[in-house]
Amino acid sequence: MAQTKTAADDAIAAAAAAANTAGNTGGNNGNNNGNNSADNSGAAANPTVKAVEDELKKTFIANHKDKDKADWMAHNPINGAVLTINNQTGSVRAALPDSQEIESITINGNKVLLLARSKDSGTRARKLNGNDFPGGTVIGTGFVGSTPYHISSPDFQDFRWGVHTHDGISTVFVQGKPSSFMPKSGASAYTGKAVVGKEGDYSLVNVQVEADFDTKNVNVVMKDLPYSKFGSNNQLEFGGTIMGNTFAGTRNGIVSKGGFYGGAAASVAGVFYGAEGEKQGVNGAFGASEKKSIRKK
């Protein structure tokens, strides 16, 4: 009897050790992600609010050297977000943009030019085309925005944003040179464009952003979303809390993070992901400028 019990105990211990090894291997595989690629191994189909919030903590990073601006992005280097969505598994990964200039970004090994030609001046947003790829051939699909009408205009001057989809992977992004100083009071309204979509199918829509620099609140509204994709409930509204020259928050089940760009917060841009509720899986990026002072309600 003693020998039978010992053999059973050994078998149980061996099985437990094997299961533990398999679990550790799976966990390690799940953590090996490239900055601009999505991981297919063991990814949850619907990431939780906390999971998306944790990913977005890797973006719009506070890196200012001054102690009194510890929660600010420095004006240099380029800062922002690259949010990658695997449209097959639903996994979401985020990182800082790995860019040396505003006018280009590398996504999954493909260099994409971001309204880099002089004829793109004054473009609020448009589809990606052959001129946006060094080889002249369009790789995947997407949108890009925005540029100022004139080089002296502060509107849309210091950042780019957009989306690129290829081989089942969608990447929404914002990158630019953050604001060096911010208003300490008052409220401003911004207008611009946004890309919004799900499962790799994106549309270009209008966006309105209000920033209250007294209460440190940002509110983002996108109206008239395509009926064919969103039905009668064709509006998104979300926002966050201003910290330094960034903002972040979760409202209406939508997790967002963004930053202010240009002099005195001339522009605002961000990325977002619907982690729960009826807009679950909806994601995108936006850029807004044409800043105007408004009276608070």
What are 187-232's pLDDT values in tens digits?
999 999 999 999 999 999 999 999 999 999 999 999 989 988 887 7
Distance (Å, whole) CA 197 – CA 205: 10
Q: What is the pLDDT of residue 118?
A: 87
Q: Kindly indicate whether the domain formed by 35-293 is annotated with CATH number 2.40.160.90.
A: yes
> In the structure encoding, which two tokens stand for residue 222, read together?
């996108």
pLDDT value at residue 20: 43
Q: For the whole model, what pTM was predicted?
A: 0.84
Q: Residue 238: what pLDDT? A: 98
For the stretch 69-93, pLDDT in tens is 999 999 999 999 999 999 999 999 9
Mean pLDDT, the chain, rounded, equals 87
Residues with pLDDT less than 70, the chain: 1-44, 297
Residue 2 is predicted with a pLDDT of 41
The reported pLDDT for the residue numbered 149 is 83
For residue 17, what pLDDT is reported?
A: 43
Per-residue confidence (pLDDT) for residue 178, from 0 to 100: 97
Token pair 């448009």 is found at 126
